[in-house]
Structure 1
Amino acid sequence: MRWLIGIFAFMTIIGIPWAKACFIIGNFSFLPFGKEPIDRKYLTGNEDIGTGDWTLIGNVIWCVLAGFWLALGHLASAVACTMTIIGIPFAIQHLKLAMISFAPIGQTIVSKEIAESARVVNRARL
């Protein structure tokens, strides 16, 4: 569903940043295990068009139109998944999806190892 919305958003020129967010969330929803969302600026150390000043404006628009409801749905799914022991790993993934669904612009999906190495590098910078 998110990929279809992403295709529709790409058709409108103004919707391209949100279309990219739809595809990122869709890919993360498809294969969430072993991956996690991370801020691109935090990962690369450089600002780009999705991590600059416009990120806040884009994320506010996203949150008002779609992000709040997507995050709420993933939170409800996480609560439902915790009802059984076998559902707990899926609940954890739904919590990750809720976080990225709330404000996806400027985020990317990487493996846990890459995210941890980015944290180590950024700690060394500080």
Structure 2
Amino acid sequence: MPPVSILLNILWILLGGLWMAFGWVVAAIIMAITIIGLPWAKAAFNIAAYTLMPFGQKAVRRDTLTGRADIGTGPLGLIGNLIWLLLAGWWLALAHIATAVVLAVTIIGIPFAWAHVKLAGIALWPIGKVIVPA
């Protein structure tokens, strides 16, 4: 990871990244407690790690990366994302947007606010995404 990404990730953790990653972990644990929620728990844990250190990485659709559809990017992934949206996605996205609004007040916080807005989109629709180096 380049030094700039390391510095940005440290600032990110201090400016809201840690508490949002904690929110993702809580959502993953709640999903894991219910056996039915295990597919969502795996995705939530992956995105929790991405939320903790987003600079130097990006989220892409798995079918775009591999060139072929799979269970998470097909019709079952659509159903899974809709269920996720109802159970946990909306409140995680809302928390990312609220954090983005607070950070956007300062010039220094604008890049971090933009990262929270991107994470809000991922919070709404996480199934079928994979985290790759930028």
TM-score, normalised on structure 2?
0.76
Give the drift of 1:4: 4.3
Deviation digits for residues 5-44 of structure 1 (CA, Å, limit 9, x no counterpart): 4244334331111101211220111101122211101111
CA contact (8 A) 1:41 1:48 kept: yes
Give the drift of 1:98: 0.5
CA contact (8 A) 1:36 1:96 kept: no
1:62 aligns with 2:84: yes
What root-mean-square deviation, in Å, do the aligned CA atoms of Structure 1 and Structure 2 show?
1.5
Using CA pairs below 8 Å that are at least 6 residues apart, which structure has the higher relative contact order?
1
Unmatched 5+ residue regions in structure 1? 113-126
Q: Which residue of 1 aligns with 2:127?
A: 105
Deviation digits for residues 28-83 of structure 1 (CA, Å, limit 9, x no counterpart): 11101122211101111122221121011111111111111111111121111111
CA contact (8 A) 2:27 2:88 kept: no
Q: How does 1:112-123 map to 2 (within 5 A)?
A: 112=134
Unmatched 5+ residue regions in structure 2? 1-21
Instruction: Give the Cα–Cα distance (whole angstroms) in 2 for the partners of residues 49 and 29 of structure 1.
Output: 24
TM-score, normalised on structure 1?
0.80
Q: Which residue of 2 aligns with 1:33?
A: 55
